[in-house]
Amino acid sequence: MRSARTERVLRLVPPRTHAAPVPPSDAEPVVSQRRPIERFAQYALREVIARGGMATVWRASAPDGTEVALKRMLPSLAESPRAVLMFSDEALLGMRLDHPRLVHTFELGVFENEPFMVMELVDGPSMSDVLSRSVTLMRPAAAVYVVEQLLEGLSALHTILDDDGVEAGVVHRDVSPNNLLVTWDGEVKLGDFGIALVTRGGTPHAPGVLQGKVGYMAPEQLAGDALDARADLFAAGVVLLELLTGRRAFARDHELATLAANYAGYSRSLDGSLPGPLARIIRTALAQHREERFPSARAFAAALGEARAELSLGAGREQLVQFLGEIAGTLRPGLRTTVRSATGARQSADHRSSLPAGAGLASRMAGRIARDARSLATGRRTLCRASEAPGLARQRELFAYRFGEPPCLPQRALLTPAATRAVLTRLARRRASGLLVARSGDREMRVFFDDGAPVFIASSEHEHLLGERLVRLGHLSASEVELAVERAARWDCPLGEALVDMGFVSARLVFHEIMEQMRARLRDLGTWSGGELGFVEQARPGVSAVRLCPSDFELPLGGA
């Protein structure tokens, strides 16, 4: 795609690094009473308008007086070839885009060893600012209009041609209110192409390496599968629901729980208050299997147009402008930040003051609690007193490892690989909810099902424990797991959440390993024989669950 604004696309050469910044004159305006305007290359930096994990974005003035957005890479990253490559890829893609719904990039350069890009300035807030600072819901016509404009931009992005004249297969991968900008007169633009993926001739991102905002990712994006445009359409559906209801489809009180909810799929209860046509559109956009979603941004937008006509929604742009005017007083101040605080909800003084192993009574108590929790988790111990280890009684319920109390199994079968495959298929087909129990000798596994999908798997095998798996794979040390088990008991939370909140591992890594752990347990179950297999209807695990898709557990057992 050739840009019609070639007069503003500058050659990719670094500005002269020997040029000293021009000192400000007395007549120049200032950003504050304390700091005069800075000079960067040929640009005058006015104010910081956004900060992220890779760069800072400034409102700046070009030599001809045009206001632009200047994105400066953080100095700490400028020495990283990978970071510089990602930054330049983002700029080069932005320079190819010439569409009113997409933020255009004018220049990529280097000044005093600091990479930067110059983009068009969108004079207005992000939709994230609008959602977080407004106390009333946006009118349906305005919400539909915003997403229609987003889809127009996505359609242009998804169909951009490469140098060979073939669709490049670009996927934005980070469609969210934070990257959706709106002007005060109602223009909507999608920006931030920092993690956009070109799928033609490329490969899917590595498993466990997730890029984007968790609450807006399609299930295949969370799973690390190859992506196409329908991942962006899923995110657009999440945005639509959020604009209409003020609620995020998958947001939970912990990032790990948000990942699990997102991968589990959309709950229809979220759109119960919406008019039928809009509810149906959201359900289609958020289908767990991409084959059931809209095939393209154009098809999604057409469905919204039909719904707008059916519901007799008014002029969306005018209503958006009116809404922005009503809340303008709360939107104009402030700085947009694209990086969430790394401080976890359970980061507390007791963590910071923890003693190392062998450093006194507190440390010895922590070690005993960890050992007792592990004994409960593996079934080697079935009883505990609260006075012995605070939180262990609840921890026992939380982990659902209650092997000392075998349930009554009204439906029993001889345990064989063939029987296991047949039972899993039958439970999935009838969308059963309950507990599948397998016993073979001194081994036991419990698989909790919800609506036909495994959501929690407990195993008596020591090597199946999450902590043991993370240590075996080199993600953690044994002492870190011991400390996290003790913290999980004290905080009354799952081990994975404790590991994340203590900063030992990322939520995305834990989520990926939980998924792999569940698949590994099912593969192992498919080899068991010589025992009994039973199912208890409507039994619940009592813990936050990670739902597997049918493809996650049919393939490992299909050839056994």
Active-site hit among 174, 192, 232, 501 = 174
Tokens of residue 96, six digits: 């190819």
First-residue to last-residue Cα distance in the chain: 50
Distance CA 370, CA 374 (A): 6
Q: How does DSSP assign 378-424, residue by residue?
A: TTS-----TTTSTTHHHHHHHHT--TTSPPP-SEEEEE-HHHHHHHH
CB-based contact 191:130 (threshold 8 Å) = no
Distance CA 523, CA 445 (A): 12
CB-based contact 101:153 (threshold 8 Å) = yes
State the residue for tokens 């003790």: 486
Sign of CA dihedral 486, 487, 489, 493: negative
Checking DSSP bridges between strand 336-337 and strand 43-51, what pairing results, if any?
A: parallel
CB-based contact 376:382 (threshold 8 Å) = yes
Answer yes or no: 174 catalytic: yes
Sign of CA dihedral 70, 75, 78, 83: negative
- Residue 65 burial by CB count (10 A; 0-12/13-18/19+): exposed, middle or buried? exposed
380: Cβ–Cβ under 8 A, 6 or more apart, which residues?
none
For residue 509, which amino acid is it? L
Q: Which residues are catalytic?
A: 174
